[in-house]
Amino acid sequence: MAGRKYFGTDGIRGRVGEHPITPEFMLHLGWAAGQAFKRAGQRNSVLIGKDTRLSGYMFESALEAGLSAAGVDVKLLGPMPTPAIAYLTRTFRASAGIVISASHNPHHDNGIKFFSAEGTKLDDALEAEIERWLDTPIAVCGPGELGKASRIEDAPGRYVEFCKSTVPNEFTLDNLKIVLDCAHGATYHVAPKVFRELGAKVFVIGAEPDGLNINLNVGSTHLDALKQAVIDKEADLGIAFDGDGDRVLMVDQDGSEVDGDELLYVMAAQRFEEGRLKGGVVGTLMTNLGVELALTEMGISFERANVGDRYVMERLIANNWVLGGEGSGHMVIRDCTSTGDGIVSALQVLLSIWKSGKTLAEMRKGMSKLPQTMINVRVEQRFDPFSRADIVDAVKSAELELGDAGRVLLRASGTEPLIRVMAEGQNADDIRRVVENLVKVVENSTP
């Protein structure tokens, strides 16, 4: 992503009202995207969906105007999960899909994600092309060539049916009590339908969006409400999505958190046991070492990609594998869908549970996570931590201390002005001390 002005690891993101998250920029971005996506000799269209943030209305209108000025038709989906836009972009044979969302961030942030005509994240070359058009003044096409806008009214129903189609017809959630936490986000009106129509008794929290409460003390980044609801309802498990629905975490019947690393293990182990795990598994630099050790012991190949589901997807495609994911709950299941999908991933975990006859708590016991500590250090401006000599020296010292029994990782967040400092190993106290020492070095580091 070096040299990129606007795109981070997952689109363009920032605080509403601050450049580039402004109506003026979104107008130009819509036009630039239209120029990059449209193909001569055909009628081009782009789908636009959004999460439940109040600012989504403003940016939806600006993008629509920019795309129209470029001569591209617009199909509006309204509030829909990010993976739904990926799916519908494919089924409507659109030139591209746009999602207005800042994922798990608070309501005062927003951003833009793009999908190709195939429903996949854009490659670096296409993002660079959009940025080149952003450096060009808007030139409105002829009055007779302007794009038209229309709304797809049946989008939620189409996506609900797609989610259900990713599990076998004989699969059922009968007799299962599930609590869903929709983060007051984009899954609020579709996720409950999916799980109820598959037979589960569903209790729902975080499904009353008001434009300002997205991810507020609910969802995959705030699991306390879900843990309590699972215990209060005596449910079999809880499922938490993030604001735009591309992540999922779970809570077992005891109220214990089951993160993305454990969910990845559950799916991989069950598929391997059935003989339907094609190839190996892709994690990221942040994936707990316990996952790698458990899978390797089973004879399953494991590879680490850079953080971000797009990089997980790249390695899966390169290896012709199907299963990968991140501890944050981004799962990529290539034989089900083209991008990370929280609802589909949850269904695949539940399918693994259904086939095994075990509970979620029982299935996660096959993998022991090593103690891991991560602290996010907020900085005024993002920078590469390994560009600072004092940080490099501190990391080398930490690695020598931990030896082969642990590892250290520092990385700049691609979506926020944060430096993530992480270490894992055999002893939790040692790991905590190593991370705290590194945090001090990062905080005191200067260019």
pLDDT tens, residue by residue, 168-217: 999 999 999 999 999 999 999 999 999 999 999 999 999 999 999 999 99
171/212 same-domain check: yes
188/311 same-domain check: no
pLDDT of residue 9: 75
Question: Rounded CA gap, 225 and 217, in Å?
Answer: 7
pLDDT band at 268, cuts 50/70/90?
very high
Final residue in a domain of this structure, among 154, 184, 199: 154
**For residues 93-119, average pLDDT:** 97
Per-residue model confidence (pLDDT) at position 301: 98
Query: Is residue 63 in some structural domain?
Result: yes
Query: Are 110 and 202 members of one domain?
Result: no
- Do 93 and 213 lie in one domain? The reply is no
Q: What average pLDDT does the structure give for the chain?
A: 95
Give the closest residue to 4 by CA, choosing from 168, 128, 176, 142: 128
Domain stops at, among 311, 332, 364: 364
55-80: average pLDDT: 98
Examine the fold and report which residue of 207, 234, 257 is the final residue of a domain before the chain moves on: 257
What's residue 307's pLDDT?
Answer: 86
Question: Does residue 226 sit in the same domain as residue 294?
Answer: no
Q: What is the CATH number of the domain that holds 232?
A: 3.40.120.10
Proportion of the chain above pLDDT 70, given as a percent:
99
Tell me the percentage of the chain whose pLDDT exceeds 90.
Answer: 89
Does the pTM surpass 0.85? The reply is: yes
- On whether both 169 and 126 belong to a single domain, the answer is no
* Residues 236 and 277 both lie in one domain: no
Looking at residue 4, its pLDDT comes to 74
Q: Check whether 403 has a pLDDT greater than 90.
A: no
Query: Does residue 2 lie in a domain region?
Result: no
Task: List the single range of 70-79, 246-255, 303-312 with lowest mean pLDDT.
Answer: 303-312
Based on the domain organization, do 411 and 297 belong to the same domain?
Answer: no
Within-domain flag for 210: yes
The CATH number of residue 437's host domain is: 3.30.310.50
Do residues 67 and 60 make contact, with C-beta atoms less than 8 angstroms apart? no
Q: Is residue 146 part of a domain?
A: yes
pLDDT of residue 273: 96
What pLDDT is attached to residue 8? 83
Catalytic residues: 103
Task: Tell me, yes or no, whether 197 and 264 share the same domain.
Answer: no
Which pLDDT value is given to residue 18?
97
The torsion defined by the Cα of 214, 219, 221 and 225, in degrees rounded to 10, comes to 110
Contact 329, 342 (CB under 8 A): yes
pLDDT at residue 1, rounded to an integer? 46
Angstrom distance (rounded) from CA 147 to CA 144: 9
pLDDT at 120: 92
The answer to whether residue 213 sits within a structural domain is yes
Average pLDDT over residues 150-154: 97
Kindly state whether residues 317 and 266 are assigned to the same domain. Answer: yes
Residue 347 resides in a domain: no
Q: Which domain holds residue 314?
A: 258-341+357-364
3-state secondary structure 187-213: CCCCHHHHHHHCCCEEEEECCCCCCCC
Structure confidence at residue 3 (pLDDT): 56
Least confidently predicted of 375-379, 382-386, 396-400: 382-386
Instruction: Note whether residue 5 is domain-resident.
Output: no
The residue-averaged pLDDT of 211-225 equals 98
Q: What is the pLDDT at residue 308?
A: 85
Is the CB of residue 155 less than 8 Å from the CB of residue 77?
yes
Residue 2 pLDDT more than 70? no
H or E stretch covering 311: helix 309-319
How many domains does the chain divide into? 4
Residues 169 and 186 in one domain: yes
If we measure between CA atoms, which residue out of 37, 262, 216 comes closest to residue 270? 262
Q: Do the domain assignments include residue 150?
A: yes
Q: H-type helices in 217-280, by residue range?
A: 224-233, 260-274
**Do 89 and 22 fall into the same domain?**
yes
pLDDT in tens, 126-142: 999 999 999 999 999 99
